[in-house]
Amino acid sequence: MQKYDGKTSLEFRTVLILALSFGLVGLDRFMISTLFPVIAKDLSLDYRDIGTITGSLAIAWGISALFMGSLSDRIGRRKVLVGALIAFSVLIGASGLATGLISLVFVRALMGFADGAYVPASIAETMEASPPQRSGRNVGLQQVTALLFGLGLAPLLIPPLLHVVDWRWIFVLIAIPGFICAWLTYKILPARPTRPSSGTMVWADWLAVTGYGNIRICMALMLAWLTCLTTISAFLPNYMLDHLGLTFSQMGTVMSAIGFGSATGTVILPWMSDRLGRKTIMLAGTAIIFVALVLLAASGPAVPRLFICLFFVMFGTLALITLTVGPLCAESVPPKMMATASGVVIATGELFGGGLAPILAGTVAQHWGIDHVLWLPIGVIACAFLLCTQIQPSKMPAVAHV
């Protein structure tokens, strides 16, 4: 009985510290969306520039996840997690030092490398610390703080905070808890056995995991989810201010639906997938996103309706991101390759959906009007529904609870 209690205690502490740390990662990534109207005015940025800034972080995030996921399987996840958090904490304040487009793109790209190193290792560590019957729930809990902090609380707190401090200091303040989380991660997480090096190059690891059909589907799905997420989070504030004519306070209220909707979905849908199956929940979640997106595009400047539509868009989107890079991905490959597989899937989504999509959307908004940006996520989500029908049941053994 004591042995089980010890495992349960380690499971709880592992999920808790990984969740708090990922909350800071998400806060930095997404709070800039609420700040974009202020930053754009101060630094003379246009829609294309906003897309470039958003895309630079996502591309760096994807490249980092691709390499660091495999590295964490080889050298140990704790080393990668602690190093990523320290780098994140050092760099985050630099966003507030930007003086123009080039410096802000450079700083956000560096942030993307640190953040991208953290994600696949943290997901694999959560899966390994969790018994099979709680793996979906725990990954959902580990991921939810990034959404709650970055997309839920930030849009509500930043508008009044800007009356007290300059936007630059908001970035600086986040560095201190980042160092604290790095220290707690080192103290709490066990040094797990690593995968012995076979002398193969990292690209051999990538080829190995992409040999699994579900991983290839996950790669395409992540492109769709990230296209939806980054396009909406980057351009919806300006869409509501410039196209719908909402006030800054009203925009912040609507944007908070991203965080609350995604937090709710990320807890509920992965938990339901433990019981109803991954494919069933993936199909249902994709249908919810599509309907909510169409209704959002058809909505006028009515704050309650915009809030509800956006809530359900993100209720599905972030939950399906969690399922794709977490349980669905991890259960499709051998346990020793979980972080590698997650890194490959994350990289595909970030490089193309997170990196190129906002640049494309920013170009569309600049040339044809920002009222057209929602048609891009609507189209990719329709394709994602068809992809979800091709998901196959996992043939891998359940992840061992270590």
* Per-residue tokens: 318: 């972030």
Cβ-proximal residues to 54 (8 Å cutoff; 6+ apart), any chain: 33, 230, 233, 234, 354, 358, 362
Nearest-angstrom CA–CA distance, 341 and 66 = 9
Token pair, residue 87, equals 């780098």
**Rg (the chain; Cα; Å):** 20
N- to C-terminal Cα separation, the chain = 16
Distance CA(281)–CA(320), nearest Å, equals 8
Taking only the tens place, the pLDDT of each residue in 249-308 is 888 788 878 878 888 898 899 889 888 888 999 999 999 999 999 999 998 888 999 999
Q: How far is 126 from 143, CA to CA, in rounded Å?
A: 10
Name the range with the highest mean pLDDT among 33-42, 75-84, 244-253, 280-289.
280-289
pTM beyond 0.75, yes or no: no
Quick: pLDDT tens for 324-359: 988 888 888 887 788 788 888 888 887 777 667 777
- At 398, the amino acid letter reads A
| Contact yes or no for 108/326 (Cβ under 8 A) | no
At residue 144, the pLDDT reads: 79
- Name which residue leads in pLDDT, 43 or 191: 43
Higher per-residue confidence, 27 vs 388: 388
Q: Which domains does the chain have, with CATH numbers?
A: 2-191+199-388 (1.20.1250.20)
Q: How confident is the model at residue 2 (pLDDT cuts 50, 70, 90)?
A: very low
For residue 254, which phi and psi values (nearest 5 degrees)? -65, -40
Instruction: Tell me which of 365 and 385 has the higher pLDDT.
Output: 385
Determine the Cα–Cα distance for residues 337 and 212; give it in Å rounded to an integer. Answer: 12
What confidence tier does 101 reach under pLDDT thresholds 50, 70, 90? confident
| Short-list 218, 268, 162, CA closest to 387 | 218
Give CA separation, 265 vs 2, 16, 131, 137, in Å.
Answer: 34, 19, 21, 11
Q: Using one digit for the tens of pLDDT, what is the confidence trace for 212-248?
A: 889 999 999 998 998 888 888 778 888 888 888 888 7
pLDDT of 317 above 50: yes
Task: State the residue for tokens 């959906």.
Answer: 353
Q: Measuring CA to CA, how many Å separate 339 from each of 31, 61, 173, 247, 285?
A: 27, 15, 31, 43, 24
CA dist 20 and 394 (Å) reads 30
The Cα 242–Cα 237 span in angstroms is 8
Q: What residues contact 102, with CB distance under 8 A and at least 6 apart?
A: none
Cβ-contact 15, 138 below 8 angstroms: yes
